[in-house]
Amino acid sequence: MQTWQETIAAMSSVGPTKNTWTTAATIINPQALVSLPPNYLYPGKQLRITVVGGLSNVITAQPTFTFQVMMGAVIAWTSGAITTNAAAHTLLPFKLVIDIRCDSVGSGTAAKFLGVGVLTGRQFLISGTGVDSVSSDTTLMVPVTAPAVGTGFDASIANVLDFFAACGTSNAGNGITLYEYYVEALN
């Protein structure tokens, strides 16, 4: 089997700031959406999704943020809810790298991804109600539960690959902006 790596999607400019919301929504620029053609995926096909952004949060509610890889309207992978720490931040940088592997393919809801990500940023909380670490950023493995295959989708049709985020507490001080977003086909 011959394979090669390539970047299949990338943002060419900073994304809009999203705040005062709770329902998951896209946070990438429309030009960064990529339509994966029918039958592009096969069992073992790997994608790496990298996002670098700024995240704001208020102290009062210690909001959670959830990141999702979408195939059309289907949540193909999710980080689960990640709690912020007890310090206020304004667009403090974070980085999330997600490696997903196509676990199965087919029509209907047969196609599924399995993946794990690494999330780094000073604003994320490991446990309890602590505040910022003064010596380093927090690095978390995501999802926050045991990895499992995501919701099934139809791989026999074209699917738009998208990246969503949601905030658990609607507040103008809870926001996110992406500076970088790119998707690499690893094989």
Domain boundaries, the chain: 6-185
The model's pLDDT over 115-166, given as tens digits with 9 standing for 90+, comes to 999 999 988 877 655 666 655 678 899 998 889 999 999 999 999 999 999 9
What's the confidence (pLDDT) of residue 135?
54
Compute, in degrees rounded to 10, the torsion defined by CA atoms 74, 76, 79, 80: 50
Quick check: helix, strand or coil at residue 30? Answer: helix
The better pLDDT of the pair 64, 135 is held by: 64
pTM above threshold 0.95: no
What's the confidence (pLDDT) of residue 2?
77
What is the average per-residue pLDDT within 75-100? 92
What's the confidence (pLDDT) of residue 93?
94
Q: Label residue 62 by pLDDT band (50, 70, 90).
A: confident
The better pLDDT of the pair 61, 4 is held by: 4
Whether the CB-CB separation of 172 and 126 falls below 8 Å is answered with no
Q: What is the percent of the chain with per-residue pLDDT over 70, rounded to a whole number?
A: 94
The better pLDDT of the pair 87, 28 is held by: 28
Indicate if the pLDDT at residue 76 is higher than 90.
yes
Place of tokens 């102290």: 59
Q: CA-to-CA distance for 180 and 95, rounded, in angstroms?
A: 9
Pairing between β-strand 82-83 and β-strand 64-71 as defined by DSSP bridges = antiparallel
The model's pLDDT over 104-124, given as tens digits with 9 standing for 90+, comes to 999 999 999 999 999 999 888
What's the confidence (pLDDT) of residue 11?
96
